[in-house]
Structure 1
Amino acid sequence: MRGFFAAAAVAVSVLAAPMAQAETLTDAFIAAYRNSNLLDKQAATLRAADEDVAQAMATLRPIVDFAINSGYSRSQQTASGRFTDGIRTTFDLSAQLTLLDFGRRAIRIEIAKESVLATRELLRSVEQDVLFAAVEAYVDVQVNQQLLALRESNVRLVTQELRAAQDRFEVGEITRTDVSIAEARLAAARAGLAAAEGNLMVAREAYKAATGAYPRTLARLPASPSLPASMEAARTVALRTHPAILGAQRRVTINELGVELQKAGFKPTVSARAGVGINDAGAESQSFGLSLNQRVYSGGAQASLLRQSIAQRDGARADLAQAGVQIAEGVGNAWAGLTIANAQVQAGDRQIRAAQTAFDGVREEANLGARTTLDVLNAEQELLDARVTRIQAEAQRYLGVYRVLATMGLLSVEHLKLGIPTYDPAAYYNAVKSAPVHSAQGKKLDRILEKLK
């Protein structure tokens, strides 16, 4: 009995004693960040968005084409004239540049830049999901290890109760019914132990999925991060910093620029074109010209595109407002969950003390013949249930802090001070934003890409 309660007292504490070279929560965070395929995918998506800026910038520059044309021809100047034939080859170099488009190219560049910033917020959101999955997996493994220890202790205790019942039955103190009750309770305890073993296996798989490797010996959980003093203060931070809010703001800007782009589409475009050429006979040609293009009638398509962009802008504004509602609700729910978990932990402590007292009393009364084996087993089950509930409540309280941080938009490598290099979204952007070609700058870009692999 003393051995059981000693083991249970250890298991009830969510914070297990640290061991040499134990794997810490910080280690789990770092492994999750470095091994996340989701982060790799989102970083690649961000680099693709960076290239949209480069492509938009390229429209400010001239387009230069070089062509070589060679072919056989046979012709006559007049109906009765001689035929002339031969192979003709020409070399042409041409350049075209848009001189004036009333801001369309500049607007497309701004849209591309805003899209990059919106995609960066998606990267931050994925980072939060990855880190929360890591802490959830870490805590889940510890909880299931402790629940397994409780179930093992429970099997040992019920086994002792069954042996005691058999001994008392043999001397005629109790009936066969009491022995059968103890046998049934032992079978139930073994079933609970099997379930606990299975749950731990599941938790280990979740840990591997979150961090890239199965857990080793897990260290004591560190103190949870600090939170604002009130739910309203947490909401204020969330509405200012959460990636969902910032991303929605960027999408509003993108759609507002889209309206301006469609308005500019009603205006003309002025372009310049120059070309030089030479043929195999040595004859040269030069050309230069300006062109003004203005669409006069498009069957109502341009007007429809403008109305559509206005509707999309209004929808983006509504999305921003709804994002604020959802973030505020998320903070409130997470804060309430944390409050409930705190209350459950406190209630669990009182429940354990009361259940322990009740068990001790029932056990003593059973020794005096005033209680049955069933009474003892029921009291032991209530104590076990109280300890299980306490462990789970403590885990939810710990996770609740990180859940609140996530709803505030602060569950990041930087805020947690993990002290590791993180993906720098500006590095690739700065390398490609000016649309470099294959040159010395292009080689520098290749080196950046190699480091990002």
Structure 2
Amino acid sequence: MAMSGAGLKIVLIWALALAVGGTIAGRAQAVSLEDALVAAYQNSPILLARRAEQRAIDERMAQAVSGWRPTVTGAASYQERHQDSGIGGADSPVNPDVQFNPFRVGATLEQPIYRGGQTLAEMRQAKAEVHQGRANLRAAEQDVLLNTAISFFDVRQDLNVRDLNLNNVNVLRQQLAATEDRYAVGEITRTDVAQAEAALSSAVASFTIAEARLTGSRARYQRYVGMLPANLEAPAGLPPLPASEDDALAIAVERNPFLIAARYGEDASRHFVRRAVGNTLPTVSLEGEFSRTKEPSQFREFTRVRQVMARVSVPFYQAGGASSRVREARQFHNQRRIETLETDREMRKRLRAAWADFVSAQSSITSRRDQVRANEIALEGVRQEVLVGTRTTLDALEEEQRNLDSRVELENAIHDEYAAAYQILSVIGELAPEKLNLGVTSYDPAQNYRKVRYKSFGLGQSADADPLPNADMAPVSTTTPKVSQGSLVTVPTDGLEAEDAVAEAGNQATAIEAAPKAEGTDVYLVQIAAYRTAARADQGWKILSERHGQNLGNRSPDIVSVNLGAKGNYYRLRAGPAANKKEARQLCAALIGQGLNCLVVRP
């Protein structure tokens, strides 16, 4: 069914307004792929959760080491007792209501000497689990960076495809007008006009679909980066890759984080078997006790006990439970061995697929570019032939569609090349901040491990002491003005008024671009938390500045109120000022190294 002229004008105005919005965004400072990766690495809830999980795994070493240490227990008791004594069956007691109030205080100490090798096995298992956790953390970092990069490429691809469809709508609109003019003078038939109208309606539908896909890509980008994409600039080039698939495989065998985690998991399960065997062996311990009991009587005033005892416990029969746990542990170890083999095969499959996609995309780019050049020549020729009557309107419409399709396929091939390149980096374990030269300090899980592995005292800090990242982060390095699309829903359908509406949108764009630079935009701040009240934000600054005085001691707090609509007002706590973006990033990296979350922003 053909679209009416008024309806087409509404859609075209909407499309042109979107193009104006894109032009405004293009004039804003661009966000690079590196900016997006840094924001995701520093503020991803996925990584923050996995880092907390790794810090919990670090405690297993401290728990295992405790098997070497003594346990000391203190106890105190007080008893109130009344006692009557008599002779024979006499009802009256000889010593009525004698009261005893014994009071006892003491301490016991138990020192394990030998636990059947369990303590040593627990330490080795804990160490293997710590290394396994670090590999899993690195795998999570790579997944987040990979998904961030792919979502970055998705947004750029879908934006370019949307613009191609928008341009196609404009071209077909002009072609429809020319077709109607030729029909008015009797040069062509009504069939040609209907074909042009149908082609324009199809182009508008394709544009709508492309816009919806772009919205989905932006949402996925926000999922990993924490902010909506502004103007994403083209990547500087492909990342460095191994020279061949065999070279990539050799690197992956040594560095793939999933394979490393599987190997350490297998190692941990082997020590778990040794722990289970230790439950069937004798144990030796040394016990000491000191107690003093105050129990006034006619014989003594108090009793004091001091004793040391060596205890040897030999399990002769444990109802079959201990031996069953040994068999269970051995099968669990066998499972981990098989899973390591499966992980290796999965890694090889992913690498082959990614390398094949990369080679295919590179070849496709060359072919698609040749196809685009050929289609442009063919399209221009068909248009000329239509004018002289040797080609029909349908021929021109079909050639327009082929030209659009080839351009879209070229965008897809470029997207696939970058996506496959980063897939390869992920498989070989090279998708890391230090490998990508992101200019941000990598999180070091060994720092917490060294702090807690032999720790004997202390309960640690509450989880509430670590502020969570904001759900509404602003872009790191860009502020994107937007033209409201809502005001364009009720645009007038009269031709002259419609053109005025589009011109007004362009005037708004110019006004936004010419707006004076906000005062203070040459400095940067580091946002570290968000609170519901200004008082809590001020209190949070006092706590954080005391705890992280080395980095925040010479900084001043900046508390700003932000209205989040239905969520209410929040107060963002920011530290600063920093003289430039590099200094702000260094401060943020130092705070992340101390377990804080942060974001580089402008005032």
Tell me the alpha carbon deviations over residues 314-336 of structure 1, each in whole angstroms, 9 at most, x when there is no partner. Answer: 22111111111111111001001
Which residues in structure 2 correspond to 1:24-423 (within 5 Å)?
24-75=32-83, 82=95, 84-280=98-294, 281-423=301-443
Alignment TM-score, normalising by the size of structure 2: 0.69
Tell me the alpha carbon deviations over residues 18-69 of structure 1, each in whole angstroms, 9 at most, x when there is no partner. Answer: 9663111100000011111111111111111111111111121110011111
Asked if the contact 1:55–1:435 (Cα under 8 Å) also holds between the matched residues in 2, the reply is no
Q: 2:445 aligns with which of 425, 428, 443?
A: 425
Alpha-carbon distance in 2 for matches of 1:266, 1:144 = 64
Relative to structure 1, is the Cα distance of residues 447 and 264 closer, same or farther in structure 2, using a 3 angstrom cutoff? farther
Alpha-carbon distance in 2 for matches of 1:27, 1:366 = 49
Tell me the matched-pair count. Answer: 433
Tell me the alpha carbon deviations over residues 273-316 of structure 1, each in whole angstroms, 9 at most, x when there is no partner. Answer: 11111234553221211111111111222222222222122221
Q: Which stretch shows the higher mean deviation, 105-114 or 299-308?
A: 299-308
Tell me the alpha carbon deviations over residues 248-290 of structure 1, each in whole angstroms, 9 at most, x when there is no partner. Answer: 1111111111222223322200111111112345532212111
Partner SS for 2:229: coil
Amino acid at match of 2:303: A
Alpha-carbon distance in 2 for matches of 1:55, 1:259 = 18
Relative to structure 1, is the Cα distance of residues 33 and 234 closer, same or farther in structure 2, using a 3 angstrom cutoff? same
Asked if the contact 1:57–1:435 (Cα under 8 Å) also holds between the matched residues in 2, the reply is no
Alpha-carbon distance in 2 for matches of 1:20, 1:275 = 76
Amino acid at match of 1:378: E
Give how far 1:197 is off: 1.6
Give how far 1:382 is off: 0.3
Give how far 1:75 is off: 3.7
Q: Which stretch shows the higher mean deviation, 423-432 or 80-89?
A: 80-89
Relative to structure 1, is the Cα distance of residues 169 and 32 closer, same or farther in structure 2, using a 3 angstrom cutoff? same
Asked if the contact 1:131–1:411 (Cα under 8 Å) also holds between the matched residues in 2, the reply is yes
Give how far 1:430 is off: 0.8
Give how far 1:408 is off: 1.0
Amino acid at match of 1:45: E
Partner SS for 1:84: strand
Amino acid at match of 1:60: W
Alpha-carbon distance in 2 for matches of 1:439, 1:134 = 36
Partner SS for 2:239: coil
Asked if the contact 1:50–1:429 (Cα under 8 Å) also holds between the matched residues in 2, the reply is yes
Alpha-carbon distance in 2 for matches of 1:451, 1:88 = 53
Alpha-carbon distance in 1 for matches of 2:334, 2:46 = 31
Asked if the contact 1:96–1:271 (Cα under 8 Å) also holds between the matched residues in 2, the reply is yes
Relative to structure 1, is the Cα distance of residues 447 and 24 closer, same or farther in structure 2, using a 3 angstrom cutoff? same
Alpha-carbon distance in 2 for matches of 1:282, 1:451 = 55
Alpha-carbon distance in 1 for matches of 2:340, 2:414 = 36
Alignment TM-score, normalising by the size of structure 1: 0.91
Partner SS for 1:214: coil
Amino acid at match of 1:417: N
Amino acid at match of 2:252: A
Alpha-carbon distance in 1 for matches of 2:195, 2:358 = 40
Alpha-carbon distance in 2 for matches of 1:79, 1:175 = 134
Asked if the contact 2:31–2:230 (Cα under 8 Å) also holds between the matched residues in 1, the reply is yes
Relative to structure 1, is the Cα distance of residues 439 and 345 closer, same or farther in structure 2, using a 3 angstrom cutoff? closer
Unmatched tracts of structure 1, length 5 or more: 1-10, 12-16, 441-445
Asked if the contact 2:444–2:593 (Cα under 8 Å) also holds between the matched residues in 1, the reply is no
Asked if the contact 2:441–2:593 (Cα under 8 Å) also holds between the matched residues in 1, the reply is no
Amino acid at match of 1:228: P
Asked if the contact 1:18–1:220 (Cα under 8 Å) also holds between the matched residues in 2, the reply is no
Alpha-carbon distance in 2 for matches of 1:79, 1:118 = 75
Amino acid at match of 2:352: G
Give how far 1:390 is off: 0.4
Amino acid at match of 2:220: A
Alpha-carbon distance in 1 for matches of 2:66, 2:350 = 42
Partner SS for 2:395: helix
Alpha-carbon distance in 1 for matches of 2:352, 2:382 = 44
Partner SS for 2:81: strand
Q: Identify which of structures 1 and 2 has the higher relative contact order when contacts are C-alpha pairs closer than 8 Å and 6+ apart.
A: 1
Relative to structure 1, is the Cα distance of residues 78 and 414 closer, same or farther in structure 2, using a 3 angstrom cutoff? farther
Give RMSD over aligned pairs: 2.2
Tell me the alpha carbon deviations over residues 322-359 of structure 1, each in whole angstroms, 9 at most, x when there is no partner. Answer: 11111111100100111111121111112112211211
Q: 1:451 aligns with which of 594, 597, 603?
A: 594
Asked if the contact 2:165–2:206 (Cα under 8 Å) also holds between the matched residues in 1, the reply is yes
Residue of structure 2 in register with 1:8 after alignment? none
Alpha-carbon distance in 2 for matches of 1:70, 1:190 = 88
Tell me the alpha carbon deviations over residues 158-213 of structure 1, each in whole angstroms, 9 at most, x when there is no partner. Answer: 01110111000011110001001101111111111111222222111111111011
In proportion to residue count, which structure has more helix? 1
Alpha-carbon distance in 1 for matches of 2:220, 2:266 = 37
Asked if the contact 1:19–1:219 (Cα under 8 Å) also holds between the matched residues in 2, the reply is no
